[in-house]
Structure 1
């Protein structure tokens, strides 16, 4: 068992503290703005289709820019890229606040602003993911990753609830606070010190741009792990439908929406805190598959629930199971990727994550508009379990991964 004293020793690393604080600020802001955007879009349109469009306009910039961002992340200062990204996001969020204050927001303008925020956000993910291995040793990376998830999820728990409360006073306040938090995070990231120089000597070419894809294809275990997350969450994206559940099914309003948004983070926080104290040491491959199965089962339970308590518990289990998968996947990817490739590999990973999250929201919105909200969420949960069964056959080598160090191919 890893003691509290061991975790305290991690926190003596100043750069790790700065990175954790920045992640808390960013996650807090992201969760608040997610609640505000979802609730405002549904208030403007009362349409599941438009809720799905929000996911689509967030996904497209990530799809088309991530490989480029990964490439520059391996050639330039990752801290400066993240800082510029977060400052730019804050500018567009402030514009969104101004538009709301002056009652200039329409659904079309709203989507345009969300798109530009997503463009700036696309430059944040790959370099942000690649920073942690630069500031902690390989030996303590799994524990640092779990600790990072733990403190980040604390903000994810509070953020949606605060966002839901502040929304009752108007969206302008939510957007203003969100913009400020992104500015704070950018400043903190800029002051991080890294121990390794960014690899810069490789010439720019089409081959180097797509090197991350080639690297992942050559390692079936990594490919299987990140593609499992892609398709499982793509089908199981019931969280995109939370505004409808809060408004029309559970009848709990914007504050209730914030509570539901917080539920997965509560589960994730509890699980990541546990993993920080007792890191996974054996059967990591099997554990990942089991975790994703529970993700699907909890999605099914949430889909058919009419009780706020049962819905909250289902989302709590969903978050706990998801963080297990995230920790295993990120550890496999980061520990088996050389530093000069981490930006490009992280960019491909971000495309997979974006596809599962943002495109999953679009898929959920389309499915809900065609079949109804509850059937859409139910189909998603069943689809997630079906994907796990298929992946256990297509990537059976993952089942034999006992320790993180065992991933050699």
Structure 2
């Protein structure tokens, strides 16, 4: 008898294709905007000054997400999640088309690029919680870990194709990557219209502010979820090197736009291959320890990349970086999705999305400031070293996460009870028992 697959469900197939197409479009757009900003800045600025503007691109994407993401999580728990994602994709499609039109009329400058970066941040604030909350409603709970791995494959495949297509298209014509992004957003939008209505969950009658506070409180009091999110936040915030890739491509490795596409794609190649392996051979034991080990490897690979002056070593280190990060993402996403009741997934996904965005976009801002102050190489190498240090601290601060042994799908009723306002959430018994930490089975802590 064939093993069940999420692809057996039509709505999930449409969702997966929409995720793939929109990821290609989004990564293409983000890579080209960064390259375009750096090229315009380098016409009149030094490397350090232009590095600062690369950091500002990250900040422009982060600020609207920071201001809106918790409200977006509340909306995702009360409005049709398909509608939210459709509106966001439509806005992103118009942004890409607008940038292409500016190039047609030779009217491009830094201002519209930063304006689009802000709009992308707004769209991500609303689309992230909604999109992350749709998948668990499209497959049975037992198939959710496989669906998460397949979602990661879609994202990583898009993250491979997007930079490669974007860099190559940018070398041909500066408007071509924007035109291609707009077309891909349109395809993703069409696929989302194929997903049938999703039954609404009872999200309670809390007022908006109280509902947002409840989501924050759930994350704060659930040490498993809090530890997983916090580890990703600080490791990638300190160790992220993507903001400096245009600097490395143009002024350190001297490989041009096509080389930038390869550099941006290398982490995604490593992550995608790892996701394929995880989809066929899921991690079954010692999930917490493996996550911490891979985050430490992420920091080490970042340091190697920062010191490299050979394109082959840079690509290998970025490949390892992406592969190790994929294992961390797989474990973290599985823990968060499996141990959050459906009625709170929008708000918890919003909090997780805020932390992830802080680690990525705010990490780019940190890298830009550090690059302007100390130079791009010191910014990357120092960030990788700090990521290793913060991994050790989180392993000490969240022992229940470090000792987590297995993935077990908890009972939804127990999760709902654990999220109730009368139930203390510090180390909920159902969650801890479901994870089967080694210490609970008699092994030494």
Aligned equivalent of 2:37: 41
What do residues 222-264 of structure 1 show as CA deviations (whole Å, max 9, x unaligned)?
1010010000000111111000000001100000000111100
Give the number of the structure whose alpha-carbon radius of gyration is greater: 2
Which range is displaced more, 141-150 or 53-62?
A: 141-150
Aligned equivalent of 1:160: 163
Aligned equivalent of 2:436: none
In 1: Cα distance, 2:23 partner to 2:102 partner: 23
In 2: Cα distance, 1:29 partner to 1:179 partner: 7
Aligned equivalent of 1:96: 99
Aligned equivalent of 2:186: 183
- Residue 347 of structure 1, aligned match among 345, 350, 367: 350
Matched, 1:22 2:22: no
- SS of residue in 1 equivalent to 2:282: coil
- SS of residue in 2 equivalent to 1:197: coil
In 1: Cα distance, 2:157 partner to 2:3 partner: 20
Aligned equivalent of 1:228: 231
Which consecutive residues of structure 2, in runs of 5 or more, have no partner in the other structure? Answer: 43-49, 411-429, 433-445
- Residue 79 of structure 2, aligned match among 76, 79, 94: 76
By how many angstroms is 1:210 displaced? 2.0
By how many angstroms is 1:164 displaced? 0.7
Aligned equivalent of 2:28: 32
Aligned Cα root-mean-square deviation (Å): 1.5
In 2: Cα distance, 1:302 partner to 1:188 partner: 38
In 2: Cα distance, 1:206 partner to 1:10 partner: 36
In 2: Cα distance, 1:396 partner to 1:234 partner: 22
Aligned equivalent of 1:287: 290
Q: Number of matched residues? A: 405
Matched-pair contact (CA < 8 Å) for 1:83–1:189 = yes
Aligned equivalent of 1:253: 256
- SS of residue in 1 equivalent to 2:141: coil
In 2: Cα distance, 1:35 partner to 1:282 partner: 37
Which consecutive residues of structure 1, in runs of 5 or more, have no partner in the other structure? Answer: none
Match runs of 1:144-223 below 5 Å: 144-193=147-196, 196-223=199-226
- Residue 408 of structure 1, aligned match among 431, 436, 440: 431
Aligned equivalent of 2:330: 327
By how many angstroms is 1:194 displaced? 5.4
* TM-score, normalised via structure 1 length: 0.96
Structure 1 runs (4+) greater than 6 angstroms displaced: none
In 1: Cα distance, 2:285 partner to 2:197 partner: 31
* TM-score, normalised via structure 2 length: 0.88
